[in-house]
Amino acid sequence: MGETTTGQVRRRRVFYIPGYDPFPPRRYRELYRKESAAQAALSGYDIALGPKALGGPFGWHVTARMDGAEVETDIEVLVWADLVRNSMGQSIAATYWQLARTAWAYIGSGAIWRLARLRKGPTIAAFYPIGALLLQLFVALMVARGLGAALALTGLPYLGWLGLAAVWPLLAWFRARDGKIYAYYLMHDYAHTAQASGAYPADLEARLARFADTIAAALEGEADEVLVVGHSSGAHLGVSVLADLIRAGRVPGARLSFLTLGQVVPMVSFLPRAGRLRADLRLMAGQDRIPWVDVTAPGDGCAFALCDPAAVSGVAPEGRRWPLVISAAFTQTLSPARWRELRWRFFRLHFQYLCAFDRPGDYDYFRITAGPLTLGARYAGRKPSASRIETPLNRYTDTEPR
């Protein structure tokens, strides 16, 4: 079993947990291929992708030469896209019912108002699908009303009711264009989170157990570092997986690291029945075995930027150690021209953590995942962002599953 005490890495395993994403994992391989080549050209190192060398449902192999060292990395996507697709298979009527239930989950619990005090951006993002879907319904009803009035002018008043037949085709027309509007996509995302008021559904719990087994098996191998990366909704899933590993005594040595990117943890932890996640956050914040670095950026309107997820959730233990909260500082690490190009592309910015920076700072996704230092060694001595938010605003702080 390989184990590093110097922070040097020659062999690494990376497990990437995506956010709420229905697309196949090859999307992440192609993103890594394109963006790693761009970052290598900008930063002056060599990196190349090849077919996966180990088992697992989907992954790729990376060979990198950085800072005079050669590193071999195997990256695997921990897939839950099938669960996402299943949760998105809702009719138009069912989606509007989801809207009502999800709005009540956040408004009725008071969570939405506390979330707004943390960061306005993700709170606006939460209201966006509600507003967009209600606007679509309003437009469809207005068109139907106008059509009904026109038909009534024929002198046959009962024809006016036929205008209502236009409502459903118009709603279907809007849904067919959701690839640009994202109203249905985001509605399904928030509904999946809120369906059990913050508790994980049974199918997701089963998938997290499988993820834990996969990571535990990798820790028995020869890698110098096993790095778990959680992006967006994948961040809180990673928190729970690693907490389960610690509780089960399945974290040998000190080779496991944890990187969270663009996290939206409070969207779950602020809900009434999220006691399981809050317990996991408490454990991960106080443990001393797994370095945890949390990277966000104020320019990412879809993330709770610089919010310490354990602290703001009200469950940070006394003497907590993690996470190290740092900023990717898009306005500084992207050139003015690049920032102007991306500034209003909110969903693209939410993926910027996985992409190249033309003015990179101390955050470089490809140095972290393919470079010669462990995550802990790379950020040893790094101070957290002075702008981090630690104010506990959560109404629900119990840590018992309900």
Sheet of 11-17, strand order: 46-51, 59-66, 69-77, 11-17, 225-231, 256-261, 292-296, 324-327
CA distances from 113 to 100, 310, 313 (A): 17, 18, 14
> Which residue, among 355, 353, 261, 348, has the nearest Cα to 30 in the 3D structure?
355
pLDDT per residue of the chain (402 residues) written in tens, 0 to 9? 344 457 899 999 999 999 998 888 889 999 999 999 999 999 999 999 998 877 767 899 999 999 889 999 999 999 999 899 888 877 888 888 988 988 888 998 888 899 989 888 888 888 888 888 899 989 888 887 787 777 666 665 555 556 677 788 888 888 888 888 888 888 888 888 888 888 999 999 999 999 999 999 999 988 999 999 999 999 999 999 999 999 999 998 779 999 999 999 999 999 999 999 999 999 999 999 999 999 999 999 899 999 999 999 999 999 899 999 999 999 999 999 999 999 888 889 999 999 999 999 899 999 999 999 999 999 999 999 999 999 999 999 988 866
pTM for this one?
0.91
Amino acid at 330: F
* Distance between CA atoms of residues 323 and 307, nearest Å: 10
Amino acid at 389: I
| Domain residue ranges of the chain, discontinuous segments joined by + | 11-82+197-378, 90-194
* Distance between CA atoms of residues 112 and 315, nearest Å: 19
